[in-house]
Amino acid sequence: MLRTAYWLFRNRGWLGVPFFLVAMVFARPSPVLLSAGIALVILGELARWASVSFSGRTTRSRQVEAPRLVTQGPYAWTRNPIYWGNFLVGLGMTLSSGALFPWLAVAFAILFWVEYALIVLAEEDYLKKAFGQEFADYCERAHRFLVIPRKTTWRGGSWRAALRSERSTLLVTLGFYLLLALRLVLWR
């Protein structure tokens, strides 16, 4: 199981591509779905930006690594805030396309959380070895997936560095919407 989890971690950036190809081929956006999708993408990107501001660029690595255990900002609310951001961005894109609504969105949600439940196993395996009791204590305070707002400091994050790190995500998102627009213009 851990071998699969580490493989998924290394390849997590490509695993959503089939959904977005299907979204392009079967695109039928409506104003409501497009608006809801864009709202989710914006919310997801804000969650990613906040998460990366505290965790740093290691979130882009193909290897599980962490120079320090991050427990402040969005990481005080859930142990995996960046994955919530990823989920909202991906679901927003899927909804925006209107493709095979609602089935593609449901399939995306199910497969996303199955994939990321396994990825989290790899990350937690690393964190247990790297941070021991400190990580165990953190697990007592923050849930693996549920988001539970609580008092935390939002200082200490590098918001400017996070925005630079998020350029590739923003470009992929913009590219998706440009391709969606082009697809709708050229192939009705």
CATH number of the structural domain spanning residue 9:
1.20.120
pLDDT score recorded for residue 122: 96
Coil, strand or helix at 174: helix
> Highest mean pLDDT: which of 16-25, 52-61, 179-188?
16-25
Supply the pLDDT for residue 52: 94
> How many structural domains are present in the chain?
1
The set of long-range contacts for 19-22, using a CB threshold of 8 Å and a minimum separation of 24, is 19/90, 19/94, 19/104, 19/107, 19/108, 19/111, 20/93, 20/94, 20/176, 22/99, 22/100, 22/104
**What pLDDT shows up at residue 188?**
67
* Minimum mean pLDDT range among 58-72, 91-105, 106-120, 149-163: 58-72
* Cβ 103 vs Cβ 22: under 8 Å: no
Query: How high is the mean pLDDT of the chain?
Result: 94
Structure confidence at residue 155 (pLDDT): 85
> Which domain, by its residues, includes 34?
2-186
Provide, for the chain, the percentages of residues in helix, strand and coil under a 3-state DSSP scheme, each rounded to the nearest 5.
70, 0, 30
Token couple for 42: 């914006």
Give me the pLDDT at residue 172, please. Answer: 94
What is residue 84's predicted lDDT score, i.e. its pLDDT? 98
The one-letter code for the residue type at 94 is T
